[in-house]
Amino acid sequence: MSISNSKTLSKLWILFLFCCLRTQAETIVIENARIFPMQDDSAVEFSSITLDKGNVKSFNNSQTAQQNATVINAMGKFVTPGLFDAHTQIGLEEIDAVDSSVHSRLNNENIGPAFDIQYAVNPSSTLIQVNLVEGVTHAVVAPVPGSDFFAGFGAAIKLAGVQPIYRPRVAMFAAINNRIIKKAGGSSSEVIAKLIRTTTNLKELKSSKYQPRGGDYSKADVQAIDYAYRKKLPIVVDVNQSKDILQLIDIANTFGLNLIVMGGAEAWKAAEKLSGADIPVILDPLDNLPSDFDRLGARLDNAAILQQAGVTIAFSDPDAHNSRRLRQLAGNAVAQGLPWYEGLKAITRSPANIYGIDKGYLKTGSKASLVIWNGDPLEVTSWPEKIMLEGKWVNLESRQTALYKRYQDLGAGKKTGFTYQ
């Protein structure tokens, strides 16, 4: 290589570093916006936010000129924290009907509480970017229930990066459903009774002398349950019938469990007890059909009744692939009487809070995860115009947008070759 070429490369490298440093140090002001930081229970709104190196520097209600700042005129658009899905299988499943692409469930009934999905999350899953470009920045991924009450550990993820998991073992997941009741002998009473026996005898079960017999938990499973209890991890139970919810509330109060009810089609019947015990509910606001005997009391205003009673609520879409529909769920809950701000909170701040995660809101000094929406975020006719995840702008291209472009001009595709990744 000649000296002149070497000098040219050196200059280009210095210029590249300078551009990178300048980009990282850039101050960004988003103004003329409707900004909801979601820092507390009051619907505080600002018109301006200043970001410094990707961190939230300040909020304001007036235009403040900043030297050397990039100014984004939002022209009255909404700015919210990135959306947070309280329960999903993003990164664990690609196609539910193709077993080889599903890592969220086990076929081996001998494994239950000790199942830990953190090792299966795929950062290259196409579902991550598909949901990210529609405003979902964070989620909790969970195992699918098997035939035991306990399903295993879930993990908190961000929808970007080589390593999406930022908190493994964020909660222990469980369920009371027809399959589990059948395995227990045919009555939900035995499922509840086994939970009480296991919790009552946990010290004895985890002793070095413990020898599991047929139907008993393995040593690894007992240690997993003990870990969840000792660490006060949320015990997230997928349960719908009000009688089972009331039983679980009593067990949580007796043993000091950190219970979260998920599903909760009939949770509105237990609203006062849930509120008094400070037990949150993760639900699908559109679950209003009596599809089985556990859901006979399902109703569309479930979320509104729970919130009015003082219960913390969070929303989750039952389709593992479609966290992006969270906004539609929240909008429907608002249409059934839930206050607008509470609807937004149920897909941002509240799901993070119930897991004890410091996400879902915009806080001074923290890395910004935010979305600039072109309209009301709870309207299906709105969509994200810009997304920032932990201080970095997100590329708004996904496999689906690439597929759209691929078939937009078939002639060009034949010449250049179709690509979608």
CATH of the domain at 39: 2.30.40.10
Q: Does 125 share its domain with 66?
A: no
Residue 413: its pLDDT value, please?
Answer: 61
Extract the tokens encoding 364: 């001074």
Sign of CA dihedral 21, 23, 24, 29: positive
Q: In the predicted model, is pLDDT for residue 56 greater than 80?
A: yes
Residue 143: its pLDDT value, please?
Answer: 94
Q: Does 148 share its domain with 17?
A: no
- Calpha distance 227→219 (Å, rounded): 12
Do the domain assignments include residue 398? no
Q: Does 53 share its domain with 93?
A: no
At 10, the pLDDT band (50, 70, 90 cuts) reads very low
Q: If you write DSSP's letter for every residue of 32-88 in order, what string do you get?
A: S-EE----SSS---BSEEEEETTEEEEEESS----TTEEEEE-TT-EEEEPEEEEEE
Q: In the predicted model, is pLDDT for residue 274 greater than 60?
A: yes
Q: Does 66 share its domain with 94?
A: no
- Calpha distance 116→171 (Å, rounded): 10
Q: Does 347 share its domain with 308?
A: yes
Do the domain assignments include residue 346? yes
Extract the tokens encoding 357: 């995660």
Which of the two residues, 2 and 354, has the higher pLDDT score?
A: 354
Quote the pTM value: 0.89
Residue 161: its pLDDT value, please?
Answer: 83
**Residue 145 amino acid letter:** P
At 108, the pLDDT band (50, 70, 90 cuts) reads low
Do the domain assignments include residue 418? no
Do the domain assignments include residue 322? yes
Q: Does 317 share its domain with 386?
A: no
Q: Does 65 share its domain with 98?
A: no
**Greatest mean pLDDT range, 8-22, 355-369, 400-414:** 355-369
Extract the tokens encoding 140: 């909790």
> For 68, left (φ over 0), alpha (ψ -120 to 50), or beta?
left
At 191, the pLDDT band (50, 70, 90 cuts) reads very high
Q: Estimate the share of the chain in helix, then strand, then coil, as percent rounded to the nearest 5.
A: 35, 25, 45
Provide, rounded to the nearest whole percent, the portion of the chain with pLDDT above 70: 90
What does the pLDDT average to over 363-370?
96
In the block, which residue shows the tokens 């979260």?
260
Q: Does 239 share its domain with 371?
A: no
- Calpha distance 312→346 (Å, rounded): 8
Residue 105: its pLDDT value, please?
Answer: 77
Which of the two residues, 91 and 14, has the higher pLDDT score?
A: 91
- Which of 356, 333, 335, 336 lies closest to 345, judged by CA? 333
Residue 64: its pLDDT value, please?
Answer: 65
At 120, the pLDDT band (50, 70, 90 cuts) reads very high
User: From the CA atom positions of the chain, what is the Rg in Å?
Assistant: 24
**69 burial level (CB within 10 Å; 0-12, 13-18, 19+):** middle
CATH number at residue 327: 3.20.20.140
Q: Does 97 share its domain with 165?
A: yes
Q: Which domain holds residue 23?
A: 1-82+361-390
- Calpha distance 369→54 (Å, rounded): 9
Do the domain assignments include residue 226? yes
Residue 416: its pLDDT value, please?
Answer: 63
At 13, the pLDDT band (50, 70, 90 cuts) reads very low
- Calpha distance 243→34 (Å, rounded): 43
For 296-328, the pLDDT digits (tens) are 999 999 999 999 999 999 999 988 778 999 999
Q: In the predicted model, is pLDDT for residue 4 greater than 80?
A: no
Q: In the predicted model, is pLDDT for residue 367 greater than 70?
A: yes
Among 359, 379, 401, residue at a domain's last position: 359
What contacts 184, CB < 8 A, 6 or more positions away? 149, 190, 191, 194
Which of the two residues, 67 and 262, has the higher pLDDT score?
A: 262
Residue 295: its pLDDT value, please?
Answer: 93
- Calpha distance 82→110 (Å, rounded): 38
Q: Does 271 share its domain with 194?
A: yes
Residue 241: its pLDDT value, please?
Answer: 97
Cβ 29 vs Cβ 70: under 8 Å:
yes
Do the domain assignments include residue 421? no
**Residue 358 amino acid letter:** D
Q: Does 104 share its domain with 42?
A: no
- Calpha distance 419→401 (Å, rounded): 11
Look over the chain and give the mean of its residue pLDDT values, rounded to a whole number.
Answer: 89
Residue 419: its pLDDT value, please?
Answer: 58
Dihedral pair phi/psi, residue 349, rounded to 5°: -75, -45
Q: If you write DSSP's letter for every residue of 354-368 in order, what string do you get?
A: HTT-S-SS--TTSBP
Do the domain assignments include residue 401? no
Residue 110: its pLDDT value, please?
Answer: 60
Edge-to-edge strand ranges of the sheet holding 55-60: 55-60, 48-52, 27-31, 69-73
Q: Does 88 share its domain with 154?
A: yes
Residue 154: its pLDDT value, please?
Answer: 97
Do the domain assignments include residue 180? yes
Count structural domains, the chain.
2
- Weakest-pLDDT range from 222-231, 310-319, 386-395, 400-409: 400-409
- Calpha distance 52→58 (Å, rounded): 9
- Which of 201, 125, 197, 110 lies closest to 162, judged by CA? 125
112-147: buried (b, 16+ CB within 10 Å) or exposed (e) per residue? Answer: bbbbbbbebbbeebebbbbbbbbbbbbbbbbbbbbb
What does the pLDDT average to over 283-297?
93
- Calpha distance 82→77 (Å, rounded): 15
